[in-house]
Chain A
Amino acid sequence: MKQEINKFPSRIGSDPDPPIQLVALMHQNNLYTQKLKGSKSPNPDLCGCFSSVMNRLRIISGHLCPAGSSELRRDLRSSACGSTAGCSGEDVVVVHGRRTAIGRAKRGGFKDTTPDELLSAVMTAVLTDVGLPPDKLGDVCVGNVLQPGAGALMARVAHFLSGFPETVPVYTVNRQCSSGLQALLNIAGAIRSRTIDLGLACGVESMTLRSMNNPGDLSSRLSDHQKARDCIIPMGLTSENVAERFGISREQQDSFSLSSHQKAARAQNSGRFDSEIVPVSVTLVDDEGRERQVTVSKDEGIRTGTTLAGLSKLRPAFKPDGSTTAGNSSQVSDGAAAVLLGRRSAVEALGLPVLGVLRASAVVGVPPDMMGIGPAVAIPAALQQAGLRLEDIDVFEINEAFASQAVFCVEKLGIPLEKVNPNGGAIALGHPLGCTGARQVVTLLNELRRRGKRAYGVVSMCIGTGMGAAAVFEYPGP
């Protein structure tokens, strides 16, 4: 048939007197996407007819996803109607989220606090804020990396410390640095499969009390397999690999780190974190063994006085001629975060608010020896699932495990820097491993709400042993 088409001009040319035919056709100039981005539209009268556009979209979407069709038909859905996804009762929505301040490990406010206490603080706060009795929760999932068995016991203890009834189950998940996000994706999956209606996704880490130096029990055959061997490379060396192989200079890394501190300081000083941070009262033990009560309500890692000159003087931390330093790596921290999720229909039935909608997610594998490139692969995968383009996203929360890998991912994807971590990232705030993903979701949705208009945001991070995760959220507007 294609050959037939190619023959078309010659067919016309060979016809001595071809009849002339007038043809009329119509098209709509991106009508749906333009209108749905109502607040961005240059044409104000388009905003008024939002509900009629939603109705139009619902009808056209019905052509592709007819009621009663059990097939997901994801490929077409994402290219056809994903970018203009309407509201569905089946949507997985974020109701609310809170986090603790992020403390400096071993020296900060949480150095004498166990993770179950941190976890309990955010679990309690989220439910109290929205007035939801804990027995409404179908499940609780906690992301954790360093506790034995990802802290299964610790999580159940936190659960009871929070006054949750024994009838509500809880479990933990460990996908290293993405554990907090993975907890959210697990709860979302349970909601989608109609196993539960509402669930709490959390993340917690005390890097004061547990360290990353216990690899567990591994086979001696590890050394026979290159990729398996690469899994035990220290994270700092994977950062050096990314910097070397992709030419990310020390100056780029330091300047990115400086910017992280400056953005975080600005956010802290202007009170942007105040609504998301749950103040936690703890007992602190000083060097002489004296106890005192303190309330921790400010992120402790932000250094307002940091300068490029100061950063550039730091010595490489992982190899003598390397470029990764303590100043351009994420900080070792303690903290917790919790996010309440539900099926939209259940959430609305309970009169709970909708802070965000989970539109898509992806977890991908990358070479273990440069695990930091994970977001560069995961973000496009999640966007494709969502049927969105990079330009459709207003805010990217990309975990700053190392400046090297963060800079690489941002440059590789061509993300404008002003869209990346507008309130700073893990280099300034800290990276409590199991908590980070949930913390990023809380910070992202708060930022989008602060901006006050419907928008999309992405949360992404690299994952040790060579993976990347990303999730796309929509803030539906005020």
Chain B
Amino acid sequence: ARAGCGSLFVLDQTKSGVALVGSWAWGDGLFDVTWSEANEHVLVAAGGDGSLQLWDTTNQNAPLRVVKEHAQEVYSVDWTQTRGENLLVSGSWDQTAKVWDQTLSRSLTTLRGHQGVIYSTIWSPHIPGCFASASGDGTLRIWDVNAGACRLAIPAHSAEVLSCDWCKYDQNIVATGSVDCSVCVWDLRNVQQAVNQLQGHTYAIRRVKFCPFRSTVLASCSYDFTVRFWDFSRTPPLLDSVEHHSEFVCGLDFNLHIPNQGICSYPVFVLQSENPIKVVEGSDFHLWICGF
């Protein structure tokens, strides 16, 4: 890949291991990616240049569509999980979130309210037209896309909030991860106080993700090089701390098909190697199995 560029990798988990399906270069860093829920070959990536790109993995060349409406880095993109909707939401450092149709023709609505950069935008798996956003302004916000309005602004942390995610089993539960090194679990019916504050990370938490199989289990990854698993209903809540990365752990996700399996990966800056394949094979990309 060219110096200073971002790359999009598509990997296939096969019987013999993880294989590279393809990689695509982009002229600026790519900060987030989401699969289409309508077409198994389509995905959308969020660019440092303010663009969203619609990629087709069967097309070896350019993205199908590039749309550049954000004025600054797009740091998050998410495809709706709720039935019948095929919408995208993007969150940008220009402090706005935008909602898009699945062809990325143009944004359907722009949501303003955050006083800082937006790091994370995640659709509710239960409530149509509802997403949560996490921001550098320290708040978690819950948005109603149909009304074009912010329904809740929760001062979740006294530091930047880098990530948020919805519980898959309870439509009122949201988790946030912050620069203050803690994960907070919120019940949207009463946001005066967090349901639980999960402490243990020693540096900022880059991403939180709820388990698709267990309602009170979630995982977080951090600049402290670790991935931690939590059950917020238990005391103490920490289930496991995984220390197999030698760099910032910037992303993670659960395998929807195999319980207790997931993926976490990639340092965003300070890569050990210029060769992207090596990153896949190297020590900073891990598939993991976690027995709770």
- The answer to whether the Cβ of A25 comes within 8 Å of any Cβ in the partner chain is yes
The answer to whether A27 and B11 have CB atoms under 8 Å apart is no
Q: How far is the CA of A52 from the CA of B203 in the complex (A)?
A: 25
The answer to whether B17 and A24 have CB atoms under 8 Å apart is no
Question: Which of B59-67, B167-175, B192-200, B266-274 lies on the face that meets chain A?
Answer: B266-274
The answer to whether A25 and B251 have CB atoms under 8 Å apart is yes
Measured between beta carbons, the chain B residues less than 8 angstroms from A26 are: 6-9, 29-33, 45, 266
Measured between beta carbons, the chain B residues less than 8 angstroms from A18 are: 13, 15, 258
- The answer to whether the Cβ of B159 comes within 8 Å of any Cβ in the partner chain is yes
- The answer to whether the Cβ of A21 comes within 8 Å of any Cβ in the partner chain is yes
Encoded as 1 (CB less than 8 Å from any A CB) or 0, chain B from 275 to 292 comes to 010010000011111110
Rounded to whole Å, the gap between the CB of B257 and the closest CB of chain A is 4
Encoded as 1 (CB less than 8 Å from any A CB) or 0, chain B from 9 to 35 comes to 111111101100100000011111101
Nearest 7 CB-CB pairings of A with B? A26-B30, A28-B29, A19-B257, A63-B204, A34-B4, A34-B3, A32-B269
Given contacts A34-B4, A59-B136, A66-B179, 7 further A-B contacts (CB under 8 A): A1-B242, A19-B257, A20-B13, A25-B9, A27-B30, A27-B267, A28-B29
Rounded to whole Å, the gap between the CB of B162 and the closest CB of chain A is 7
Residue ID in chain A nearest B206 by CB atoms = A63
The answer to whether A29 and B2 have CB atoms under 8 Å apart is yes
The answer to whether B255 and A28 have CB atoms under 8 Å apart is no
Measured between beta carbons, the chain A residues less than 8 angstroms from B21 are: 22
The answer to whether A66 and B8 have CB atoms under 8 Å apart is no
What would be 30 A-B contacts, judged by CB atoms less than 8 Å apart? A1-B240, A4-B288, A12-B17, A20-B13, A20-B14, A21-B12, A22-B13, A22-B40, A24-B33, A25-B33, A26-B7, A26-B31, A27-B9, A27-B271, A28-B268, A29-B4, A29-B6, A29-B276, A30-B4, A31-B28, A34-B3, A46-B3, A59-B93, A63-B160, A63-B203, A64-B204, A64-B223, A76-B203, A79-B270, A84-B269
The answer to whether B287 and A8 have CB atoms under 8 Å apart is yes
- The answer to whether the Cβ of B73 comes within 8 Å of any Cβ in the partner chain is yes
Q: How far is the CA of A83 from the CA of B269 in the complex (A)?
A: 11
The answer to whether A12 and B15 have CB atoms under 8 Å apart is yes
Known A24-B33, A26-B8, A63-B206; judge A5-B288 contact (CB<8 A): yes
Question: Which of B8, B242, B274 is A30 in contact with, Cβ under 8 Å?
Answer: B274
Question: Which of A24, A31, A41, A52 is B43 in contact with, Cβ under 8 Å?
Answer: A24
The answer to whether B4 and A23 have CB atoms under 8 Å apart is no
Measured between beta carbons, the chain A residues less than 8 angstroms from B288 are: 1, 4-5, 8
Q: How far is the CA of A73 from the CA of B13 in the complex (A)?
A: 37
- The answer to whether the Cβ of A60 comes within 8 Å of any Cβ in the partner chain is yes
Q: How far is the CA of A43 from the CA of B9 in the complex (A)?
A: 23
The answer to whether A42 and B3 have CB atoms under 8 Å apart is yes
Rounded to whole Å, the gap between the CB of B45 and the closest CB of chain A is 6
Known A23-B263, A29-B2; judge A64-B271 contact (CB<8 A): no
Measured between beta carbons, the chain B residues less than 8 angstroms from A59 are: 93, 117, 136
Measured between beta carbons, the chain B residues less than 8 angstroms from A31 are: 4-6, 28-29, 48, 268-269
- The answer to whether the Cβ of B108 comes within 8 Å of any Cβ in the partner chain is no
The answer to whether B8 and A24 have CB atoms under 8 Å apart is yes
- The answer to whether the Cβ of A33 comes within 8 Å of any Cβ in the partner chain is yes
On chain B, the number of residues with a Cβ less than 8 Å from chain A's Cβ atoms is: 74
**What class of interface size applies to chain A in its complex with B?**
35 or more
- The answer to whether the Cβ of A148 comes within 8 Å of any Cβ in the partner chain is no
Which residues of B pack against A, CB within 8 Å? 1-15, 17-18, 21, 28-33, 35, 40, 43, 45, 48, 57, 72-73, 93, 117, 136, 159-160, 162, 179-180, 203-204, 206, 223, 240-244, 248, 251, 253, 255-258, 263, 265-271, 274, 276, 279, 285-291
Q: How far is the CA of A25 from the CA of B55 in the complex (A)?
A: 13
- The answer to whether the Cβ of A2 comes within 8 Å of any Cβ in the partner chain is yes
The B-contacting residues of A in range 46-86, CB under 8 angstroms, are 46, 52, 56, 59-60, 62-64, 66, 73, 76, 79-80, 83-84
The answer to whether B11 and A22 have CB atoms under 8 Å apart is yes
Q: How far is the CA of A390 from the CA of B280 in the complex (A)?
A: 27
The answer to whether B14 and A4 have CB atoms under 8 Å apart is no
Rounded to whole Å, the gap between the CB of B205 and the closest CB of chain A is 9
Measured between beta carbons, the chain B residues less than 8 angstroms from A320 are: none
Which one of A1, A4, A32, A79 has the highest number of Cβ atoms from chain B below 10 Å of its Cβ? A1
The answer to whether B268 and A24 have CB atoms under 8 Å apart is no
The B-contacting residues of A in range 308-354, CB under 8 angstroms, are none
Measured between beta carbons, the chain B residues less than 8 angstroms from A52 are: 72
Measured between beta carbons, the chain A residues less than 8 angstroms from B241 are: 1
Measured between beta carbons, the chain B residues less than 8 angstroms from A30 are: 3-4, 269-271, 274
Known A1-B242, A64-B223; judge A21-B257 contact (CB<8 A): yes
Which one of B12, B15, B266 has the highest number of Cβ atoms from chain A below 10 Å of its Cβ? B15
Q: How far is the CA of A33 from the CA of B274 in the complex (A)?
A: 12
Q: How far is the CA of A9 from the CA of B160 in the complex (A)?
A: 38
- The answer to whether the Cβ of A133 comes within 8 Å of any Cβ in the partner chain is no
Measured between beta carbons, the chain B residues less than 8 angstroms from A80 are: 223, 248, 269-270
Question: Which of B162, B244, B253 is A1 in contact with, Cβ under 8 Å?
Answer: B244
Measured between beta carbons, the chain A residues less than 8 angstroms from B206 are: 63
Rounded to whole Å, the gap between the CB of B211 and the closest CB of chain A is 16
Rounded to whole Å, the gap between the CB of B231 and the closest CB of chain A is 16
Question: Which of A24, A34, A63 is B35 in contact with, Cβ under 8 Å?
Answer: A24
- The answer to whether the Cβ of A194 comes within 8 Å of any Cβ in the partner chain is no
Rounded to whole Å, the gap between the CB of A41 and the closest CB of chain B is 7
Q: How far is the CA of A5 from the CA of B285 in the complex (A)?
A: 12
Residue ID in chain B nearest A81 by CB atoms = B269
Measured between beta carbons, the chain A residues less than 8 angstroms from B274 are: 29-30
Q: How far is the CA of A293 from the CA of B204 in the complex (A)?
A: 66
